[in-house]
Amino acid sequence: MTALKTTVIGGGAWGTALACASRRAGSDVILWARNTQVVEDINEGRGNPLYLPETRLDAGICATGDMKEALAAAEVILLVVPSQHMRKVAEEMAPYVAGKAIALCCKGVEQATGALMHEVAQEVMPEAHIAILSGPTFASEVAIGLPTAVTVASRHEASRELIMKAVAAPTFRPYPTDDLVGAEIGGAVKNVLAIACGIVTGRELGENARAALVTRGLAEVMRLGEKLGAKSETLMSLCGLGDLALTCNSPQSRNMSFGIELGKGRSVETILAERRAVTEGVWSATSVTDLARRLDVDMPICEAVNRIVTDGADIGETIRQLLNRPFHGKI
């Protein structure tokens, strides 16, 4: 049987991990990275020490910095770049992707437009078949083959099946849906909520507070999803509740660990300056709350996080304001 040709666009930790998963599924894998050091390290057998240190990569994973070369023979494309850079990268890809299956593996809402990632992709690459791959995933665990399950969402059944084939293995299980909006909303909002959970942990407010925050955060996810037409069962699945549970309960999450440092009193600028990888929740805080305001959806936790990370609001006072909200509304 001829191996499926899969291209991963993005040389960060998650892109590299998905290259590992796709290779484990039997695909021929090319990884495109803008960073020339990443390309050299992978092709010379050193793995990706910049973004995924101490993880050995299969020798069959090849890297390139040439977009045309990366996409020329691709049957499946996994687009794995930070959400606020997705439009620019998609514009570079557009001449080479007509008729191809593209899974968006980034989580966020575009700040400039309030568009979801699949809306951006469909605008920029109208001749491609767009899908979403999302779920509760830590890159380091996926890279070494620990058991993982994800959602693959697409309205184009043949492309959805092809993407699932490109990554499916005994320890990497994709589950299908046609609900693109539902598959995206959970992933975008949970990064903001994870910062809030980190703040709770950093300020030692206790497990009760964090459990309450996760529960009320899920209500915010559900309200926004309902407004946008998402299916409730999607939001309660891997790409919604599952992703929220993982990201809000482990300091391994970049967003939760960022919140922990904020809770300890460190500044946004100082924390971000120490990081190589993008902390998506910092940027999604603004775009998610802007979207919620435009749609008249009540999302007080996301609003609070945005005030802290974007406007420099005092954490203690922001928490007091949340705790003094009226006692009403649904659970």
Residue 49: both structure tokens together: 């020490």
Q: With residue 22 as reference, give the H or E element that holds it.
A: helix 13-24
Active-site residue list? 190
In whole angstroms, what separates CA 44 from the centre of its chain?
Answer: 29
List all residues 6 or more positions away from 255 whose beta carbon is below 8 Å from its beta carbon: 191, 192, 194, 195, 198, 247, 279, 280, 281
Contact 283, 111 (CB under 8 A): yes
DSSP codes joined into one string, 283-331:
HHHHHHHHHHHHHT---HHHHHHHHHHTT---HHHHHHHHHTS-S-S--
Amino acid at 160: R
Q: Give the Cβ contact number of residue 98 at 10 Å.
A: 11
CA angle 10, 39, 256 (to 5 degrees): 40
CB-CB contact of 57 with 20 (8 Å)? yes
